[in-house]
Structure 1
C-alpha cells in the first residue's frame, strides 16, 4: 500500500517537510521581527517614519521582486541549494544589521535580506510539489510553520530586547538560520520523488524541465496567463499586500501610543531597572495579534472549501475596511476595546491569505501554476512593500486616525475588485 493510500508520510516526505518547515518559520521570523526593531531605530538614529518606512519598503519590495527569477532558478538548479543560499543570506544580513551605524547601513542590510528571502517561497513550494508524495499534508505543515514564525518571531525579539541590547539581539537572531542550515546539511532527501511516483505526469509539480526556457517563452506564458480574471485576481493580491505591509510595519510603534504603562501599574519591574526601560507592552500585543492570525488562516482555509472564494474575499476585505476605520476610536476608548479591535485585525488580515491563494489557483491553468504564484508573491511582497512607505508618509503628514482611514482604502478597493471578479471573471 502506498503512502498516498495509507495516508502516512514516508521518510523522504518527512525529511523534506521538516526542512521546509524550519526554513519557512525562519523566513517569517526575520520578516516580522523588523517592525519590532524599527521602534528602536526611530529613536536610535533619529530618522523620520517616512525615511525609515521607505528604507524598509525597499527591503520588503525585494522580498517580492526576487520571486520570479527565484522560481526560474529553482526549476533549473533545484531547490535545496537555493534554500540554503536563502538561509545564509538572511543570517548574514542580520549580522550586518547589528553593526549598523545609520539609516544607510540599515537600508543595505534590509536589501540583502530582501534578496535572500525572496528565494524561499518559489524554491520551498517547488520542493514540496516535486518531492513530497503527500503534498496536501506537506503544504499544511509548511503553512503552519510559517504562521509560527509570523507569530513568535516578534515575540522572541521583544523578549530578547528585555535582556540584551538590540545589536546583540540581531546577532542572536542569526542562530535560527544556522540551525536550519545545519538541519539541511544533515538531512537526506530526493527532490523529485513525488514526480517519479506520479509517472512524471503531474503538471503542477513539473519534471525539472518545466517553465519557460527563454525570454520569449516567458513572455508568451505570461501573456497566456493574464486573462481578465487572473489580472483582477492579481490586483486583489496587491490590495492585500499593500494593506498587510502598510498596517503591520509601523503597528508596534502605533500601539505603543495607546497602551497603558502595564509594567508600572502591575509593578512588574523596579522602575529604575534597565528591564523596566526596555519593556514595551505594545510589542507583546503586536505578537498576540499575529498569533490570532493563525486562527484566521485556519478559518479562511476552511471557508475556501465551502463558499465561492470571491464571496469570501468581499466579506473579509469589507470587514478589514471597517476594522481599519474603527481602529483608532476603539484604541482611544480603552484597553479592552483596543484588545478587541486588535484581535479582529489579526484574524481578518490573515484569513485573507488562503482565500486569495485559492482564488489564484482557480483563475490560472494547472500548467502555469508555478508562474502564477511567482506573480502572486510579486504582487503581495513586491508591490505590497510600497504600503510601508505609504504608511510612513501618512504618519508624517496626518494623524494616526487619518493614516488608518487612508489604509482602509486598500481593502475597500479589494472588496470592489472581488465583486467584479465574481460577476465577470471566467475560470480557465
Structure 2
C-alpha cells in the first residue's frame, strides 16, 4: 500500500471499529434490560429493530450526501452523533428513553458505511486488501464493544457503563483530525476524472435518474444477496447472548472464580464472553473473505459461504446440546462465516456499480443490510416467543438458502453476459 492508501485505511479502520463497538454492545445491554424493565423478547426485539433499522435506512440519504460532499466530514458527524446518543442512553429510566437513544444512534451510525466504503473504493488502489483490513477492524470493534461492556458491567451500573462508552468516539475523532488523504486517488490512478462528476443528485428527479441508471438486473440481485445476509446476521446475533446462556453450564460456580455471594458473581455471565469470542473469530472471517475477493469469483464465494451458514444454522442447537466443546466449535464457525461474507458482498457491490455513484450504491446496500436486515431482530424475537430455539434457527436458515440461490444466479448471469 502507498502512503495515501495507508492513511485512508487507518482512518476507516478506527471509525469502523467504533461503529461496531456501539452496535454489538447493545445485545449485551439487552440482557439487563429484559430483567430490569420486565419486557418480553418480542417487545424489546421490536424496539431494538427500530434503532437498527434506522442504522440501515439512513444509509441511503447518507450515500447521496457522500457522492455530493465526500466522506471525511460525514464520518466525523457520524462519530460525534454516536457518542452523543450513548450519553443520552446513560440517562434512560425506562424503555421509552432507550428507544429514543437507540433511534438517534441508528441515524448517526447510518452515515458510516456509505461514507467509509465509498472512500475505500475510490481512494484505495489495493481495494481488496483495504476491504479486508476494514473488515478486520470492524470485527475488532464488534468483539471489543461487547467485551468492554461485559467487563464494565461486573463493576458498574449499566447507565455508567454506557456513559463511559462515549470515550471511543472521542478517541476516533481526535485521530481523524490528525491525518490527511486524497479521497479519489484510486479513480485517478485508473485514468478516471472523478472530481468532474462529484456532484451527486441535487434534486429528487436527479436522484431518481441516478438510481434508475444504477439499478441494473445484476445490481438488483446483488442487493437481494446483501439483504439476505443482513436478515440472517441480525436475526442470529441480536438475542444470541441470551440464547447461549441457556446452554452454558455455571462455569464461574464450578471453577469457583468468585465468591458466590459477591456482586461480581451475580453479574458474571459466561454467555457474554462466548459471544465476544464468536465475534472476534469473525476477524479471521473478514480477512479470509477480503483476500478471496481478489482470487476467486465473488459470486461463487458468496454461494459457498451462504450454503455453509445453512448447515451451521440447522446444526447449531444439536451441537449446543452435545456439550461445551461442541457449542464453542459451532459458535466459532458461525462467527467466521457471518463475517467472511461481508467483504465479498461489499466488493460485489463495487463490481456492479459505477464509481461516480458509489456512495449511492452503498447507501442502497446498507438500507438492505441494516435497514431491512433489522427486521431479523424482530423476527428472531417473535420466533423465540412462539417456538423453540431450534425452530428459530431453522426458520432463520431460509435467508442463507435464498442467498445461495441468488449468488449462483448472479454468477450465471455475469458468465452469460461475458461469454
- When the two structures are superposed, what TM-score results if normalisation uses the length of structure 2? 0.93
Structure 1 counterpart of 2:46: 54
- The structure 2 residue matched to 1:399, chosen from 388, 404, 410, is 388
Structure 2 counterpart of 1:41: 33
SS at structure 1 position matched to 2:154: helix
| 2:3 is aligned with 1:9 | yes
Deviating more after overlay: 297-306 vs 55-64? 297-306
| 2:84 is aligned with 1:109 | no
Structure 2 counterpart of 1:95: 87
Tell me how far 1:162 sits from its aligned partner: 1.2
Structure 1 counterpart of 2:399: 410
Pair 208,101 (structure 1): closer, same or farther in 2 beyond 3 Å = farther
Pair 386,18 (structure 1): closer, same or farther in 2 beyond 3 Å = same
Kindly indicate whether the alpha-carbon contact (under 8 Å) linking 1:54 and 1:389 is maintained by their aligned counterparts in 2: yes
Deviating more after overlay: 141-150 vs 242-251? 141-150
Superposition pairs for residues 250-261 of structure 1, below 5 Å? 250-261=239-250
Deviating more after overlay: 209-218 vs 145-154? 209-218
Tell me how far 1:355 sits from its aligned partner: 2.0
SS at structure 1 position matched to 2:24: helix
Structure 1 counterpart of 2:377: 388
Structure 2 counterpart of 1:72: 64
Q: Deviations over 1:30-67 (max 9, x none)?
A: 01111111111100111111111111111111111111
Unaligned runs of 5+ in 1: 1-6
Pair 93,367 (structure 1): closer, same or farther in 2 beyond 3 Å = closer
Q: d(CA) in 2 for partners of 1:20 and 1:207?
A: 25
Tell me how far 1:197 sits from its aligned partner: 6.2
Unaligned runs of 5+ in 2: none
Kindly indicate whether the alpha-carbon contact (under 8 Å) linking 1:62 and 1:382 is maintained by their aligned counterparts in 2: yes
Kindly indicate whether the alpha-carbon contact (under 8 Å) linking 1:195 and 1:207 is maintained by their aligned counterparts in 2: no
Alignment RMSD? 2.3
Structure 1 counterpart of 2:227: 238
| 2:183 is aligned with 1:189 | no
Tell me the number of residue pairs that the alignment of Structure 1 and Structure 2 aligns.
417
- The structure 2 residue matched to 1:149, chosen from 141, 148, 151, is 141
Q: d(CA) in 2 for partners of 1:196 and 1:369?
A: 11
SS at structure 2 position matched to 1:99: coil
- The structure 1 residue matched to 2:311, chosen from 316, 322, 330, is 322
Kindly indicate whether the alpha-carbon contact (under 8 Å) linking 1:325 and 1:408 is maintained by their aligned counterparts in 2: yes
Kindly indicate whether the alpha-carbon contact (under 8 Å) linking 2:132 and 2:287 is maintained by their aligned counterparts in 1: no
Tell me how far 1:95 sits from its aligned partner: 1.2
Pair 261,128 (structure 1): closer, same or farther in 2 beyond 3 Å = same
Q: d(CA) in 1 for partners of 2:296 and 2:9?
A: 29
Q: d(CA) in 2 for partners of 1:274 and 1:97?
A: 24
Q: d(CA) in 1 for partners of 2:417 and 2:358?
A: 13
Q: d(CA) in 1 for partners of 2:337 and 2:129?
A: 24
